[in-house]
Amino acid sequence: MALIVLPMAALQGPSEAGSTQLNALSSREGQAAAQKIYPMGDKRLVTPKLVTQVNPVYPEKAQKAGTQGKVLVEVVISNTGVVTDARVVKEEPAGHGFGEASVAAVKQWRYEPATLKGRPVAVKWLVTINFRLG
């Protein structure tokens, strides 16, 4: 089984991510603070770099059936490099467990965070995971 993970940095254009806000508690002040999540197409950003990758478990049902697949996962990478959210955007073929396996894995990934003017920022990012047998 070979897993190929590709960042989708080439995708450009506006994203819902640009207007999304995350609420986080400030540990010092105990107040809620909003953190902007930048869209991955923002050309001012230095892109995040994958540091730790956990490969998804190949779904047993798909492996027994000899089925290969491809999943596009949208993740939110915090300003500390932690994946705080992940959702399947596209799964081919659906119904074989590729999406669930992909989300479970990417939630464990760690990144060097994206930066804007030298400061770490949260970003919405797309990754592609290919499930291949052999």
> What pLDDT does 83 receive?
98
Top pLDDT among 104 and 5 is at 104
Containing domain of residue 67, as a range?
A: 2-132
Average pLDDT over residues 106-130: 97
Q: How many domains would you assign to the chain?
A: 1
User: Which pLDDT tens digit goes with each residue over 1-45?
Assistant: 445 555 443 333 333 333 223 333 333 332 223 479 999 889 999
Residues with Cβ within 8 Å of 16's Cβ and at least 6 positions away in sequence, in order, are: 124
Q: What is the mean pLDDT of the chain?
A: 81
Nearest Cα neighbor of 88 from 9, 101, 57 is 101
49 strand-pairing partners: 112
Q: Which tokens go with 70?
A: 């491809």
Q: Residue 125 belongs to a domain with what CATH number?
A: 3.30.2420.10
Detail the DSSP E strand segments found in 9-77: 21-25, 32-38, 45-46, 49-52, 69-77
| Sign, Cα dihedral of 92, 106, 4, 126 | positive
Q: Which tokens go with 107?
A: 């939630």
In this predicted structure, the answer to whether residue 123 has a pLDDT above a threshold of 70 is yes
User: Which pLDDT tens digit goes with each residue over 77-93?
Assistant: 999 999 999 999 999 99
The whole-model pTM stands at: 0.74
Q: Measured between alpha carbons, how far is 106 from 56 in angstroms, rounded to an integer?
A: 8
